[in-house]
Structure 1
Amino acid sequence: MPAFSDPSDHQAADQALLQPPLQNDSSAPSQPPLRLGVMASGNGSNFEALATAIEAGTLHAELVLLIVNNPGCGAVARAERLQIPHKVVDHRRWTIREELDQELVRTFQAASVDAVVMAGWMRIVTPVLIHAFADRLLNIHPSLLPSFRGLDAIGQALKAGVCISGCTVHLVSEELDAGPILAQAAVPVLDTDDHASLAERIHRQEHRLLPHAVQLAASRWTQG
């Protein structure tokens, strides 16, 4: 699977894990832009990373709609600044997860999205959403899966004492953080790291990795 290294620290430690980086699909411009829906719960930095890659021409896509579940979260401010349509679907209004996901499906389908990216969506999704966007629902997770699935993957890595961590973009399956892996990036875990410093290093790689993984997936869908 394609992977990126962390160029900022301990490059030699990364190299053993790496394969060649993703290349942009040269046929992409002949295809219409991928219509992307994005789901976010917090700051929205990965959402903006997608927008930045689109603006730079390295991701052949259009951000059609951002859905957030937390009113007033940072992702909303980014969407407003970038003039990208957004909607709040507050999970607190639904007591049944499947009903929340039905609303997500209705909203994304009304926007005619081709694929959905979970860019920091802090809710477990159900088969309702997964099957509606079968093989077109992507998630980014802050660990080198299959290690450290679930909540607080960064804390899990620190507790385990590993010397390498990273991030993974994968297709979403019914088993949590267990879908097919599209791409990964490795970063060193330093002796001086705490949760904040390791998270910052991983986030830098997420911002590089996610747009490339989406472009890779899009090229596969086009070829398929």
Structure 2
Amino acid sequence: MTKLAVFASGTGSNYDAIIHAIQQGELEAEVALLVCDQPEAKVIEKAKANGTETFVFEPKQYPNKQAFETEIVEQLKQREAEWIILAGYMRLVGATLLNAFEGRMINIHPSLLPSFPGLDAIGQAFEAGVKVSGVTIHYVDAGMDTGKIIAQDVVKIHKDMSKADLQAAIQRVEHQLYPATIQKLITGGE
């Protein structure tokens, strides 16, 4: 069974989708560890409720990014994690993690990259008045949302949609596309 480490900073809706896919037999993996940089994040309670081990840290308690990423790598090694799955992890990954998991770290982003990278991609798309947005899954590199694209799916934006409607539509796509893409990657079917 492939061991995943999910990194999240917020509510954990994609963590939920991954756990659900595992429980349904659609994703042949286990979540060996949840890594979270926000001690008050809702995803931590979700992980505990599902029996997922957690590593919660506060970056400001470390001298630098290398220091906390070195500790994360050690936590991942202890649990034999094979893939890092970023699921709303709101920080740029540094060289320490990138080097340890090169080619085995992916991210999900709520836009059709390369359009609308970075924070509030849904808001960016909504304000730009585009007719389509969507979801991108990509490998993580040193840039912000610049890694090689693995999968994308489109969400049409209707004229009567609110930003909240668009976010809900994008999350529905995310929750299907992410587990399915992870399954393809871990079984060699990229």
Please indicate, yes or no, whether the TM-score normalized by the shorter chain is above 0.5.
yes
1:100 shift after superposition: 2.3
Match of 1:138 among 77, 88, 106: 106
Partners of 1:95 and 1:185 lie apart in 2 by: 40
Using the TM superposition, name which of 69-78 and 35-44 deviates more: 69-78
Q: Any gaps of 5 or more consecutive residues in structure 2? A: none
1:115 shift after superposition: 0.6
Which residue identity lines up with residue 142 of structure 1 in the other structure? P
User: Is the Cα contact below 8 Å between 1:182 and 1:217 reproduced in 2?
Assistant: no
Structure with more contact order per residue of length (Cα contacts < 8 Å, sep ≥ 6): 1
- What does residue 86 of structure 1 align with? 54
Distance 1:115 1:194, change over 3 A: same
Match of 2:164 among 187, 196, 205: 196
Q: Larger Rg: 1 or 2?
A: 1
User: Is the Cα contact below 8 Å between 1:189 and 1:198 reproduced in 2?
Assistant: yes
Match of 1:125 among 60, 70, 93: 93
Q: Any gaps of 5 or more consecutive residues in structure 1? A: 1-32
Partners of 1:54 and 1:96 lie apart in 2 by: 35
- Identity of counterpart residues, as a percentage? 38
TM-score by length of 1: 0.81
Which residue identity lines up with residue 166 of structure 1 in the other structure? G
Match of 1:43 among 2, 11, 16: 11
1:167 shift after superposition: 0.8
- What does residue 173 of structure 1 align with? 141
Deviations 1:34-76 (A, max 9, x none): 1001100000110111111111111110111111111131101
After superposition, where does 1:1-224 map in structure 2 within 5 Å?
33-220=1-188
Q: What RMSD in Å do the two structures reach over aligned CA positions?
A: 1.5
Using the TM superposition, name which of 174-183 and 52-61 deviates more: 174-183
Q: Per the alignment, in what secondary structure is the counterpart of residue 149 of structure 1?
A: coil
